[in-house]
Amino acid sequence: MIKTINVILAITSVCALVWVYALKYQVEETAQEKVSLQAHIERQEGQLSLLQADWAALTQPGHIAPIVARHQASLDLAPIDQKQFSDFASLPMRPTAPDTQAMDALFEALATGVDPADNLTVGN
Amino acid sequence: MASVTEGFAPIALEGGQKARGNLTKARIRWVIAALLVVFGIVGGRLVQLGTVVQDSTIEGQARDVITASRPPILDRNGLEMAVDIRVPSLFAEPRRIIDVDEAIEAIRTVLPDLSVDFLRQRLSGDRGFVWLKRELTPAVQDKIMGLGIPGLDFLTESKRFYPGGREVSHVMGAVNIDNQGIAGIERHMDTSQDIALLQSLGLARDAALAPVSLSLDMRVQHVMYEQLKDTLTRYKAIAAAGVIVDVHTGEVLALASLPDFDPNDPASALEKDSFNRITSGIFELGSTFKTVTFAAALDSGKVRMSDSFDARFGIRFGRFTIDDFHGKHRVLSVPEIYKYSSNIGTIKIMQELGKDEFRDFLTKLGFDKRVPFELPEMRNPSVPAKFSEIVAATASFGHGLSVSPLHMAVAVSAFVNGGNYVPPTLYHRDQAEAESLYSRVISPQTSASIRYLMRLNALEGSGTRMNAMADGYRVGGKTGTAEKVVNGRYANGKNLNVFASAFPLDDPKYAMVILVDEPQAENERSGTTAGWNAGEVTGRIVQRIAPMLGIRPEFGEMIEQAMIPAQLR
């Protein structure tokens, strides 16, 4: 009776020993993995913070303004002028009858190759 | 057992049993003792392990404090103005370094700016931790890792980075190498928002800190900064500064002062003259102060818009005579006195009000003490505690007393917003919150009169150059050209020019104060008074920022007519 119990206990303890060691190595491995993941995350967070700082620096008005100034001529950009603002209320009312004389003058001008719209530059 | 019990008498048997019993007891005692010793050792070791204090400090500072981060700072549109970046810092463990000379040589191949003596002093000895160089780049980190020197390692630190650079220098301030605020809003955040406390507890970690949103608008700030920089070259001024305040909430939209410093390089803040002129500079603001005098007099009811004053002769105080700069030398109405910036008329108006009442009004406007504001860089204004006749007279047109431009911006806000003083702020504040802070300084009727006067000065007075540039945005303001005091005397030709304005004056939203120090004429035909420089700068700034702030240009007599107070129609 006692013998069998002893044998069982011995086998159990050997099993437990193997199991505990396996667990220990597994935990060590997991801890290693955790540390490397943490380092990875930290590295990526560091890179992310640099990228975010880059983005913030590149989107600053102080950074964009010189770029705009550089391409002002080629893109035909200009600061907005007060005269360029308007709304529907400030449009003139529709004339009661078509202005035939003005229409004739317009068509004649177009026929001779002069587009009156070309002369309507803003601000003049 | 049986043979033993048979051969002996019961007593002997009893004795044998007893002897065996005693032996067992003794054995048990030995086992107990052994167990106690073993458990004692185990327990003792546990206590020993429990009392070991792990030294987690780095050169006397907690590791958490060093790696602590700060909350990002955003402008009112969510654009980042200050962010933390993670940078590696190189440290060494001298006790683990095998060959100091070899290590020094290797380190200097990557970091040649570290001197041999410095490295030798740091690396020799038996210390556990010494900094070699903080806040390096990841590229340098890789190179040093590649050297393969034992005893060198990196710690990731948070470094403050200001994407806006110089444009926001005076608002942001600076942090030291341990990420603690030492100037500007950074310093304020440490003292009022307990960032310093969080850092010391090691709780200031990346995501734990919510971003701090400021009232500043980076677009407006950029325009302000660009225009002030232009001022320094265009008018060859030695300094320029400006501030824009929301008149209803007191939020500061832009605040710049030149010369400035680079917040990414805190040492540059020590350069001469780079102080914040808006908050920590106090100046005699000259004729812009007349707006204050007019507000005080009109609000008292002792002077009305329809009154007239005799400005034919200068006013004598003992041996001094105060005369007008642009002298008309006739009887002037109240709006004319403002328009022509008549010193004589303004003194008469102040005398009508009474010097003590005038002094009390300045107290009401908070001109006695610092403006309640977040930036720690502040200086006490210099306003005489009691006015004599002559001091009151000079004070009425802005001489003999010094306040900061921020004082003036806040006062102008109060004059145009309906008469409510609201302390300025760099943080977000909504209308309801601002209204709880309101204190009335002038009546809404007086406020309407001041708005009319400021607009009149832009249409017909010293602000016409400004108005030509910001046409349609209904800007109005008062110029101030104050001769600077050099060695105790007013120096001729050295002016401090100020323009205190507000727009759009039919429904005021923003107040602005622009300051230009010692400007020169732009060309032979231009002048050096405030209208030519501070005024023009104001006009250019408004022209750029009004569309950003959603203010439509309006033209026409109707709007101007509507601003004229009932008394004058």
Residue B368 CA to residue B384 CA, distance in Å, equals: 9
Select the residue from B83, B205, B467 to test the A interface by mutation, using most A Cβ atoms within 10 A. B83
B287 noted as active-site residue: yes
What is the model's pLDDT at position B35?
A: 96
**8 Å CB contact of B218 and A60:** yes
With CA atoms as reference, the chain B residue closest to A45 would be B86
**8 Å CB contact of A56 and B138:** no
What is the model's pLDDT at position B1?
A: 47
CA distances from A21 to A17, B89, B297 (A): 6, 39, 92
Q: Amino acid identity, residue B447? A: S
Identify residues of A whose CB sits under 8 angstroms from chain B CBs.
42, 45-47, 49-50, 52-53, 55-57, 59-63, 65, 79-80, 82-83, 85
Select the residue from A49, A52, A59, A84 to test the B interface by mutation, using most B Cβ atoms within 10 A. A49
Confidence grade of residue A124 (pLDDT, cut at 50, 70, 90): very low
**8 Å CB contact of A60 and B547:** no
| CB-closest option in B84, B473, B552 to A49 | B84
State ipTM: 0.73
User: Tokens 């209904």 — which residue?
Assistant: B474
Identify whether the C-beta of residue B417 lies closer than 8 Å to the C-beta of residue B371.
no
**8 Å CB contact of A65 and B164:** no
What is the model's pLDDT at position A121?
A: 58
Name the residue among B468, B455, B422, B463 with its Cα closest to residue B441.
B422
**8 Å CB contact of A46 and B80:** no
Name the residue among B166, B156, B169, B192 with its Cα closest to residue B71.
B192
> How many contacts does A have with B, using Cβ atoms within 8 A?
68
Per-residue model confidence as pLDDT tens digits over A15-51: 999 999 999 999 999 999 999 999 898 888 888 888 9
Q: Give the count of alpha carbons within 13 A of B122, CB side only.
A: 21
Per-residue model confidence as pLDDT tens digits over A48-83: 888 988 999 999 998 999 999 999 999 988 888 888
Which residues does chain B have within 8 Å of residue A51's beta carbon, measured at their own beta carbons? Answer: none
List, run by run, the mean pLDDT of 10-residue segments along chain B (569 residues).
Answer: 53 70 90 96 93 69 66 89 86 85 88 87 82 83 86 84 89 83 86 68 61 91 94 92 94 92 80 85 90 93 89 84 79 90 91 91 91 89 90 90 93 93 92 92 92 92 87 91 80 86 92 92 83 91 92 83 78
Residue B186 CA to residue B184 CA, distance in Å, equals: 5
**8 Å CB contact of A62 and B138:** no
Range list of H helices, A59-90: 61-70, 72-75
Name the residue among B407, B409, B396 with its Cα closest to residue B286.
B396
DSSP label at residue B259: S
SS3 string of B81-127?
A: EEEEEEEEEEEECHHHCCCHHHHHHHHHHHCCCCCHHHHHHHHCCCC
Give A114 or B74, the one with higher predicted confidence: B74
What is the model's pLDDT at position B197?
A: 67
The two structure tokens encoding residue A21: 């060691």
User: Tokens 């990557």 — which residue?
Assistant: B110
What is the model's pLDDT at position A115?
A: 78
| CB-closest option in A50, A61, A83 to B85 | A50
- Beta-carbon neighbour count of residue B244 at 10 Å? 28
Residue B320 CA to residue B327 CA, distance in Å, equals: 17
User: Tokens 């006397």 — which residue?
Assistant: B60
- B254 pairs with which residues across the strands? B244
Select the residue from B76, B155, B161 to test the A interface by mutation, using most A Cβ atoms within 10 A. B161
- B292 pairs with which residues across the strands? none
What is the model's pLDDT at position B72?
A: 87
